[in-house]
């Protein structure tokens, strides 16, 4: 059995071995730049682990794993343009380092590259797995579109928010595991259980991200906290607060949200205090625990030796370890 | 045997039957808008004709043909953003009618949709055909990148220009025919001959486009002439003129190119006069004829009854019919 760390290490090795043409440099340099930015490589690792739960050799899962990582980075490159993000992992985003046209076109090339790696899947499983990949990829686009639509929509419900993060984030983790399982030739029912496992895992991950933006520490989490608060980002925490706040508390909350000019730290402190009064931290933690438990239940139902589930069970626990 | 018109008609029917989700509307409405803009559907028709040259039934070629048309429209949607084009076929471009983010994301969805249609190809030919599609798709991206790079490069040679239009335009026509042939189960050598046919056809088409921008009439060609001249676009005509002009003529040519403020019609008239003096129309026509003859030669070599080649031979002749 491979641990998460061993899978991540294998993925890094494979990514380093990808060979891209030199020219046109403005097309392929940004792809290299993006793929070398690092990251936890969680999605491709899940492909390997989804395979490894059923069979000992993960070789056939490597190419689809690289495809998933290329796809994920393609979405990041295009999302950065749409979100006007200037930095990613302490480096300039592609469209800032080069320009927007290059960000669009290099992203397109990465998506096509992803399909090149997918196309290495053995012929007897190719069609089925590409099918999973395609419908997931479209869902990720739908999630990004809803995310953008929500920015200018003040009436978003918590349910709509959860559906959005499911599409934008969770289904790709789910599909990564399912594709790994299908590569291993697992029964369809078990591949679907792993999909459910990944879907719930992904929602838990995103909610934990929302939580850490407010309650994480910069050393542990690696990014400055409070960015969502400053931007009025409609996270699970803010939507829950808007749902629960009444009277004077609601006035304070919306007052801060409408404020055009403010002291960054002051707003973060004030909103965090409101969250504390409304018990938002505990409510979010309970929500995360709910999705972790859903994930664990699906994992338990997978028909295989319990010991083979250990690495994935460890991933579920690691979500809440990120909080300090 | 199906004529070009019958193929185009079949493609229109299939495109009208594509069913896309209603929501999110900002993701799928632009796809519908783009696919309903019309156009000659030449690429998907070539898929059907490439198949029909070898077998009577073209049913299996329909899905890959739709994939090719989706891919082509995906490139147009993203190119329009990169080129800052505001109009296409007398309608607002997607990024102008909606916004740039929506143009990026809807384009992404179209590319994924293309792969959904490709994935309907029978399993025994799927991997091989997707391989052709992927390498072609990457080449089209490379062509677009070279096209953008060339804008700010004053030292482009005619050879580099021809390679650029080969990548940006010709290889997709070539691959369309080859994919049709492979669907039909043609011998590899014949599929490659059709590829060569399409590659030369595509270059001839693009050169004719360059020619028509200067010497086409607006009624026949459907767009205003002289746009390339006004924008100093490095077409085959301009590059050839820059290659041939000397002394006073070179001064007049570069003088007009450097002019920041000018009367549109005056510049078109002056540059056209220079082209006339330099015999550019005739040189371009000869170049087009060269690629038409290369195309015809490849078509002649395809191992099948001559009568089956008639519709494709007709396409070669139609290129120069566009000029009036």
The alpha-helical segments, DSSP class H, found in A216-324 are 218-221, 227-230, 236-244, 247-258, 264-277, 280-301, 310-321
Residue B217 pLDDT > 90: no
At residue A42, what are phi and psi to the nearest 5 degrees?
-65, -40
Query: Residue A37's pLDDT is what?
Result: 95
Burial of A237 (0-12, 13-18, 19+ CB in 10 A): buried
Q: Is A87 on the interface with B (CB under 8 A)?
A: no
Residue A196 pLDDT > 50: yes
Query: Residue A321's pLDDT is what?
Result: 79
Residue A73 inside a domain? The answer is no
Q: What is the 3-state secondary structure (H, E, C) of A8-50?
A: HHHHHHHHHHCCCCCCCHHHHHHHHHHHCCCCCCHHHHHHHHH
Residue A312 inside a domain? The answer is yes
Residue A302 inside a domain? The answer is yes
Query: Residue A154's pLDDT is what?
Result: 87
Q: Is B149 on the interface with A (CB under 8 A)?
A: yes
Structural domain of B211? 187-324
Residue A243 pLDDT > 80: yes
| Cross-chain CB nearest to B108 (options A78, A100, A115) | A78
Exposure on the CB side of residue A34, measured as CA atoms within 13 A: 33
> B70-106 in b/e burial notation, b at 16+ Cβ within 10 A?
bbbbbbbbbbbbbeeeeebeeeebbbbebebbbbbbb
Residue B323 pLDDT > 70: no
Q: In A, which residues are within 8 Å of B112 by CB distance?
A: 111, 134, 137-138, 141
Contact, B158 vs B215, CB < 8 A?
no
Using the beta-carbon criterion (under 8 Å), do B149 and A26 form an inter-chain contact?
yes
Q: Is B70 on the interface with A (CB under 8 A)?
A: no
Instruction: Output the average pLDDT for chain B.
Output: 95
Query: Residue A179's pLDDT is what?
Result: 98
DSSP 3-state of A88: strand
Cα–Cα nearest to B299, from B211, B206, B204, B183: B204
DSSP 3-state of B92: strand
Per-residue pLDDT, averaged over B77-103, amounts to 97
Per-residue pLDDT, averaged over B132-144, amounts to 98
Residue B151 inside a domain? The answer is no
> pLDDT digits over B239-263, tens only?
999 999 999 999 999 999 999 999 9
Query: Residue B324's pLDDT is what?
Result: 46
Contact, B67 vs B114, CB < 8 A?
yes
Q: Domain containing A211 — which CATH number?
A: 1.10.600.10
Q: Is B151 on the interface with A (CB under 8 A)?
A: no
A24–chain B nearest CA distance, Å? 6
Domain tally, chain B: 1
| Cross-chain CB nearest to A27 (options B100, B127, B142) | B142
Residue with tokens 């082509």: B72
Per-residue pLDDT, averaged over B41-47, amounts to 98
Residue B222 pLDDT > 90: no
Contact, A89 vs A39, CB < 8 A?
yes
Q: Is A24 on the interface with B (CB under 8 A)?
A: yes
Q: Percent of chain A beyond pLDDT 90?
A: 94
Strand B87-88 versus strand B91-92 pairing type:
antiparallel
Per-residue pLDDT, averaged over B24-32, amounts to 98
Tell me how far apart the alpha carbons of residues A131 and B229 are, in angstroms, rounded to a whole number.
Answer: 46
> pLDDT digits over A207-226, tens only?
999 999 999 875 565 667 89
Tell me how far apart the alpha carbons of residues B193 and B180 are, in angstroms, rounded to a whole number.
Answer: 12
Query: Residue A324's pLDDT is what?
Result: 46
Q: Is B283 on the interface with A (CB under 8 A)?
A: no
Residue A39 inside a domain? The answer is no
Per-residue pLDDT, averaged over A268-285, amounts to 97
Instruction: Output the average pLDDT for chain A.
Output: 95
Residue with tokens 């520490």: A217
Confidence tier at A323 by pLDDT (50, 70, 90): low
Residue A13 pLDDT > 60: yes
Using the beta-carbon criterion (under 8 Å), do B148 and A104 form an inter-chain contact?
no
A117–chain B nearest CA distance, Å? 10
Q: In B, which residues are within 8 Å of A134 by CB distance?
A: 112, 115-116, 119
B127–chain A nearest CA distance, Å? 6
Query: Which chain A residue has the Cα nearest residue B102?
Result: A145
Residue B55 inside a domain? The answer is no
Test the A interface: residue of B119, B128, B129, B143 with most A CBs within 10 Å = B119
Tell me how far apart the alpha carbons of residues A74 and B109 are, in angstroms, rounded to a whole number.
Answer: 13
Per-residue pLDDT, averaged over A166-179, amounts to 98
Query: Residue A128's pLDDT is what?
Result: 98
pTM: 0.97
Residue A119 inside a domain? The answer is no
Residue A150 inside a domain? The answer is no
A85–chain B nearest CA distance, Å? 13
Q: Work out the end-to-end distance of chain A between its first and last CA atoms, rounded to an integer number of angstroms.
A: 30
At residue A91, what are phi and psi to the nearest 5 degrees?
-125, 160
A277–chain B nearest CA distance, Å? 36
Query: Which residues, including other chains, have CB under 8 Å from residue B54's CB and lie 6 or more apart?
Result: B181, B184, B185, B186, B190, B304, B308
Q: In B, which residues are within 8 Å of A21 by CB distance?
A: 142
Query: Which chain A residue has the Cα nearest residue B119?
Result: A127
Cα B311 from chain centroid?
Answer: 19
Query: Residue B321's pLDDT is what?
Result: 79
Query: Which residues, including other chains, have CB under 8 Å from residue B293's CB and lie 6 or more apart?
Result: none
Tell me how far apart the alpha carbons of residues B312 and B75 are, in angstroms, rounded to a whole number.
Answer: 25
DSSP 3-state of A6: helix
CB count in 10 Å sphere of residue A122? 12
Q: What is the DSSP string of B19-88?
A: ---SSSHHHHHHHHHHHTS----HHHHHHHHHHHTT-S--HHHHHHHHHHHHHHHHHHHHHHHHTT--EE
């Amino acid at each position: 059995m491979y641990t998460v760390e061993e899978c991540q290490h294998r993925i890094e090795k494979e990514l380093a071995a990808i060979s891209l043409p030199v020219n046109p440099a403005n097309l392929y340099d940004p792809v290299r730049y993006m793929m070398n930015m690092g990251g936890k490589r969680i999605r491709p690792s899940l492909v390997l682990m989804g395979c490894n739960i059923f069979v000992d050799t993960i070789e056939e899962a490597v190419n689809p794993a690289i495809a998933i990582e290329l796809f994920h980075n393609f979405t990041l490159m295009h999302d950065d343009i749409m979100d006007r993000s200037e930095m990613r992992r302490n480096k300039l985003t592609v469209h800032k380092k080069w320009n927007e046209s290059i960000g669009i076109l290099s992203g397109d090339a990465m998506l096509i590259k992803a399909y090149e790696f997918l196309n290495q899947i053995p012929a007897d499983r190719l069609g089925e797995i590409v099918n999973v990949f395609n419908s997931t990829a479209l869902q990720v686009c739908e999630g990004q579109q809803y995310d953008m639509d929500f920015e200018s929509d003040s009436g978003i419900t918590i349910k709509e928010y959860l559906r959005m993060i499911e599409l934008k984030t969770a289904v790709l983790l789910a599909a990564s595991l399912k594709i790994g399982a299908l590569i291993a030739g697992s029964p369809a029912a078990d591949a679907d259980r792993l999909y459910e496992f990944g879907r719930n895992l992904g929602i838990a991950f995103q909610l934990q991200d929302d939580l850490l933006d407010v309650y994480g520490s910069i050393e542990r989490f690696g990014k400055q906290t409070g960015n969502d608060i400053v931007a009025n980002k409609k996270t699970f925490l803010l939507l829950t607060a808007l749902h629960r706040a009444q009277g004077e508390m609601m006035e304070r909350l919306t007052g801060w949200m409408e404020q055009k000019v403010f002291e960054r730290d002051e707003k973060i402190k004030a909103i965090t205090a409101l969250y504390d009064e409304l018990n938002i931290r505990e409510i979010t933690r309970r929500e995360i625990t709910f999705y972790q438990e859903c994930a664990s239940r699906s994992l338990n139902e997978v028909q295989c030796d319990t010991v083979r589930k250990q690495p994935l069970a460890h991933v579920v626990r690691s979500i809440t370890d990120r909080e300090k």
